[in-house]
Amino acid sequence: MTTRIAMWSGPRNISTTMMRAFENRPDTIVVDEPFYACYLRVSGADHPYRAETLRAQPGEWAEVRRLLDEPLPEERTIQFEKHIAYHYPPGEPLDWLVSRRVLLLIRDPRRMIASFAKKADEVAPVAQSFAVERRILEFLETKGRDCVVIDAADVLADPPAMMRALCAALDIPFSEKMLSWPAGPRASDGPWAAHWYDAVNASTGFRAHAEAPLVLPDELERLASACAPDYEFLSERRLRSSRPL
């Protein structure tokens, strides 16, 4: 039996760390941001490694969705798809998600926006990530489908407990291999990895770190405030481990 997990996240949300955790399972293959080229083509965004990404991935939404449904390699039963939520536009259908276990990864929007601003000049589009995630959750509810929500802060506070709870919610067995992995890049990483994945490539597991007090410029504070209602809506529905965090 094949299980396809579609994880939707904003950027700078430990999404690549989650991809490492799943890829370290012997039964799982991962797909790194398959709609990125589609987004770059439609938006015209001048992101690092734009040309390389456009060459590496199909630029049509329907073609990407078709490829995501291809049979898995032999001895692999799980496909873990890492999607960046703001890459997916309002006009594209969501019905294909009914065949998947859907996971929404969230993070305090002020922290997400501050982190992204250190790596890119154009920050405004990423603020749409929470609205896209909420749209996905509400769509799946109309179809009677479960949608798992986790907060990056909860995962980092107790990785073993949260990853066990997540696997249970996704109806897959937990593996201790999800808690640590070899450092370095992966063949599955997208062409943009050289710009974005430096910290993840140095990691060998989940790494909690103290969150320093944060002061945002007024423009970024307004962006974060605009995200807050959707973040709070999702946060109220998030998965919690059986142990107090």
**Predicted pLDDT of residue 36:** 98
For 57-113, the pLDDT digits (tens) are 999 999 999 999 999 999 999 999 999 999 999 999 999 999 999 999 999 999 999
All residue ranges of the chain with pLDDT < 70 are 242-245
**Predicted pLDDT of residue 119:** 79
CA dist 139 and 99 (Å) reads 13
How many other C-beta atoms can be found within 10 angstroms of the C-beta atom of residue 17?
21
The whole-angstrom distance between residue 14's C-alpha and the CA centroid of its chain comes to: 8
pTM: 0.95
**Predicted pLDDT of residue 244:** 46
Amino acid identity for residue 186 in this structure: R
CATH number of 3-235: 3.40.50.300
Q: Which of 139, 107, 141 is nearest to 9 (CA)?
A: 107
Core vs surface per residue 182-195: b (16+ CB within 10 A) or e: eeeebeebbbbbee
**Predicted pLDDT of residue 243:** 53
The whole-angstrom distance between residue 10's C-alpha and the CA centroid of its chain comes to: 6
Q: Are 211 and 157 in contact (CB under 8 A)?
A: no
**Predicted pLDDT of residue 71:** 97
**Predicted pLDDT of residue 209:** 74
**Predicted pLDDT of residue 99:** 96
Per the document, the length of the chain is 245
CA distances from 208 to 28, 150, 156, 157 (A): 25, 16, 5, 6
Domain residue ranges of the chain, discontinuous segments joined by +: 3-235
